Structure 1
Amino acid sequence: MASGSARGVVLGNPAVVAPLCWMAIILDGFDLVVLGALIPTLTDASNGAPWMTTAQATFISTIGLVGMTLGALAIGTATDMIGRRKALIGAVAAFSVMTLLCGFAQGPTSLGIYRFLAGVGLGGCLPTAIAIVTEFSGRSGAGKASTTMMTGYHVGAVATALLGLVLLHTLGWRSMFFAGAIPGLLLLPVMLKELPESPAFLLAKGRPDAARQVADHYGIPLEAPVVDPAAKAEVPLKALLGPAFLRNSVAIWVTSFCGLLLVYALNTWLPKLMIQANYGLQQGLWFLMLLNAGAVVGLLVAGRVGDRIGLRVGAILWFLGGAVFLAALSVRMPIGLLYVMVFLTGCFVFSAQVLVYAFTAASHPPQVRATAVGMSAGVGRVGAIVGPLLGGLLVGMGIGHPWGFYIFAIVGFCGAVALSVARETATSRQRAAGAA
């Protein structure tokens, strides 16, 4: 169906909502690996003074993650105030422009500033995209929709790594930032034309006719503006800290911290951990590829399982499974079996956190949904900062293998325990009834 507008309401093609959100999440995957791919080149001193030192590279990596943390915390709240559509488009625009400027950076200081600001914009992409997809997937498909969306994260990471093999030696390191910015800039006009506003947001803002138009056009149920009592709070964050949601908020935040700590620690240090176990660099890189390949498969399976048995239960089981496989990686075994174990570790560890996002979105009413997912992602980003630092500390002490895997297994177990404390809300019970 052609894109159109009915009294100020964008009515685009229903088939493109999920792909647009998926492409926004690909940008997150790009950011995961782009600086790591460039650091060896930018810190290379073989031809004279390096463009930046290792310490400067570490700081720039960290400040980008700090920006993403702040972006996830701030833009999630803004989304519930200005709408999903504006927040996601604004986040993509900010990230794309700042990444473009990274390609023109004249030194480590300017690169650090641009990376921080790009992170602020990028931090809003994931929670907002998940909030949109959750609502437009209907009550019964939140897990499947969220985990399918997050395959974009790993697709972006793998694509960027492969792109680096082509561009770095031909067009130079600046071309990598241009390659990350241009798709986002091209995506913006399509989003402006096709991306709809949340019917629940329109309803909450006193526009019931517009909300009904969007809901009918996209074939989704129109959720009532207030399902849980805490949704009446004027400030979404205040609602999450109120008695109706506080227990779940703390449980989700602790679980997200554990989940993203594992994701970023493993993506950063798995090859080095395996080298310490005498498997060699070549095999270490293969392990990293298998870990992310397992993540894609795990995401596709986890969402369907979560929709069938419950997102909270699914996430708990996935964290427990991740803990078991992480502990198993500490044991030396035949290389063929180890490949399988690394693949299964990726299946469980990387998709466990996405089930947390899906549970968060599905268990909160529309008025606070994006804020809830944003806070989950924002607190999780703290774990994303701690994970690489913890992995680096263990590797530096020479105890990355086997003790690193034991510690990571404990983190996974803690994530499962924390989420087990969460309880069903009125919204999640309503969604479960709709799925039945």
Structure 2
Amino acid sequence: MTLPIDPRARHARWVAPLCWTAVALEGFDLVVLGVVLPVLLKDKSWGIDPNSASLITAIGLLGVAIGAFAIGPLSDLFGRRAMMLLTVTSFSVCTLLCAFATGPWLFGVLRLLAGLGLGGVLPTALALITEYARVGRGGSATTVLMTGYHVGAVLTALLGILVLQRFGWQWMFVIGAAPALVLVPLMAKFLPESKALARTRETRRNPLGTLFRGGYRRATIAFWVASFMGLLLVYGLNTWLPQIMREAGYELGAALALLLVLNVGAVLGLLIGGRVADRIGYRRSSVAWFVAAAVFLALLSIKLPGASVYAGVLLAGVFTFSSQVLVYVYIARVYPASARGTGLGAASGIGRFGAMSGPLVTGALLSAGLAYPWGFYLFAAVAVIGAAAIAAVNREPAADPSADLPASVER
């Protein structure tokens, strides 16, 4: 007698590449604005200035935050497969429409709408990856997924060099939307549904309420604080590191090279951090990563000689960027499967406010002439707060990420 093949098992191998590609497109779309802004600022017909450009950036991030909050619970209630299809389709369509915007107001509205879809991609992808990862490999599966974001960001910069001057800024958005023509049909055919969906439909419990009952309240608040601090570091450093290093006396070329080194360190940290988390535990690795980030960020307040500054920035990138991803790994293993998308979405949404705060706070320090060395002291303090928040989590990770049973409270 031949047993029927579970269609979920047959298509499980598609989860990682499809989700990785979606996250890469998110990385492309969230960085593309920074690539095209120099051209838009020179377009006199738009009348855009640095203040309005900053407003458009903030509006896009606000859309991402709202999308993360909204799509997380919806993915737990109506299915992660459906939400992945919805989010990828919606942000790709809005990205394409950006190419046809006739002015900054319409462009800003489209960036807001694109942000709604973008915000839902990451928590939904993380929830699926966690559930379908091999036993004992949840950490490394998640961190490998997040390399897609950095690959997308790097491709955006490279395409900007090749496309902007030759074809115009509009083609950057056309190129960013085009992969959805292949990705969405593949998702529709091969992306399996979550194992927790049937149970969620049966209980019909509000997944948002799960974050604050049954002993989860303390963990939820701690995760929100850690996520806010983690993304404050990521966006604050990526936005202002070159200018801070310029104030420290480095040449422009060296300052830009240090930003590249920082992001190389980020990719290395993702590849290393996941394996470490799988070996020593998600709480311990998250705390250790935040503490190490604090140490190396504080060391950057000292003007290091020669090539040692590159080593310092590389190590800061290794620990700073992957600290936030390890927080996501921990979140995905603590909440029950039926509320995992909600937990990830809420933490990601709160984190986006940290993403908005990082460039603003660091910019204020730059305006006051205090960014070097005090900017690095501030970043180190933020990392310490992130470590303290994770240390305060009172939940142990579930042994089975697909289970819908509550994780035990740590005594």
Q: Judge same fold: TM > 0.5, yes or no.
A: yes
Determine the structure 2 residue equivalent to 1:387: 358
> Which one of the candidate residues 147, 151, 172 is aligned to 1:155?
151
TM-score (norm 1): 0.88
Determine the structure 2 residue equivalent to 1:284: 255
Determine the structure 1 residue equivalent to 2:282: 311
Where does structure 1 differ by over 4 angstroms across 4 or more consecutive aligned residues? 9-12, 48-51
Q: Is the 8 A contact 2:211 2:343 kept in 1?
A: yes
Cα deviation per residue 1:278-327 (whole Å; 9 max; x = unaligned)?
10211111111111111111000000000111111101100001011111
Determine the structure 2 residue equivalent to 1:14: 12
Q: 1:51 to 1:23 in 2, by over 3 A?
A: farther
Cα deviation per residue 1:83-110 (whole Å; 9 max; x = unaligned)?
1100111110111000000111000000
Determine the structure 2 residue equivalent to 1:414: 385
1:41-56 map, 5 Å: 41-44=39-42, 51-56=47-52
1:140 offset after TM fit, Å?
A: 1.5
Determine the structure 2 residue equivalent to 1:64: 60
Cα deviation per residue 1:58-113 (whole Å; 9 max; x = unaligned)?
10000000000000000001000111100111110111000000111000000000
2:73 aligned with 1:77 = yes
Q: Is the 8 A contact 1:255 1:415 kept in 2?
A: yes
Determine the structure 2 residue equivalent to 1:210: none
Q: 1:54 to 1:12 in 2, by over 3 A?
A: farther
1:10 offset after TM fit, Å?
A: 6.4
Cα deviation per residue 1:404-424 (whole Å; 9 max; x = unaligned)?
010011000000001100022
Residue identity in the other structure for 2:257: W
> Which one of the candidate residues 64, 85, 89 is aligned to 1:89?
85
Distance 1:197 1:233 in 2: 17
Distance 1:363 1:32 in 2: 28
Determine the structure 1 residue equivalent to 2:22: 24
Determine the structure 1 residue equivalent to 2:406: none
Distance 1:370 1:139 in 2: 20
Residue identity in the other structure for 1:304: R
Determine the structure 2 residue equivalent to 1:199: 195
TM-score (norm 2): 0.93
Q: 1:72 to 1:105 in 2, by over 3 A?
A: same
Cα deviation per residue 1:123-178 (whole Å; 9 max; x = unaligned)?
00000000000000044111111111000111111111111000001110111111
Determine the structure 2 residue equivalent to 1:39: 37
Distance 2:25 2:185 in 1: 16
Q: Is the 8 A contact 1:12 1:195 kept in 2?
A: no
Q: Is the 8 A contact 1:96 1:180 kept in 2?
A: yes
1:190-229 map, 5 Å: 190-205=186-201
Distance 1:145 1:28 in 2: 18
2:104 aligned with 1:108 = yes
Residue identity in the other structure for 2:136: S
Q: 1:274 to 1:381 in 2, by over 3 A?
A: same
Where structure 1 has 5 or more consecutive residues not aligned to the other structure, the ranges are 207-231, 432-436
Q: Is the 8 A contact 2:84 2:125 kept in 1?
A: yes
Q: Is the 8 A contact 2:239 2:359 kept in 1?
A: yes
Aligned residues: 400
Distance 2:99 2:177 in 1: 9
2:319 aligned with 1:376 = no
1:263-278 map, 5 Å: 263-278=234-249
Q: Is the 8 A contact 2:365 2:371 kept in 1?
A: yes
Distance 1:160 1:277 in 2: 28
Determine the structure 2 residue equivalent to 1:185: 181
Q: Is the 8 A contact 1:233 1:239 kept in 2?
A: no
1:257 offset after TM fit, Å?
A: 0.2
Determine the structure 2 residue equivalent to 1:261: 232
1:123-142 map, 5 Å: 123-142=119-138
Q: Secondary structure at the residue paired with 1:398?
A: coil
Determine the structure 1 residue equivalent to 2:323: 352
Distance 2:5 2:31 in 1: 38
Residue identity in the other structure for 2:116: V
Q: Secondary structure at the residue paired with 2:394?
A: coil
Q: Is the 8 A contact 2:77 2:201 kept in 1?
A: no
Determine the structure 2 residue equivalent to 1:225: none
1:399 offset after TM fit, Å?
A: 1.1
Residue identity in the other structure for 1:285: L
Where structure 2 has 5 or more consecutive residues not aligned to the other structure, the ranges are 402-411
Q: Is the 8 A contact 2:94 2:111 kept in 1?
A: yes
Distance 2:297 2:166 in 1: 39
2:384 aligned with 1:428 = no
2:164 aligned with 1:164 = no
Distance 1:396 1:101 in 2: 36
2:326 aligned with 1:328 = no
Determine the structure 2 residue equivalent to 1:221: none
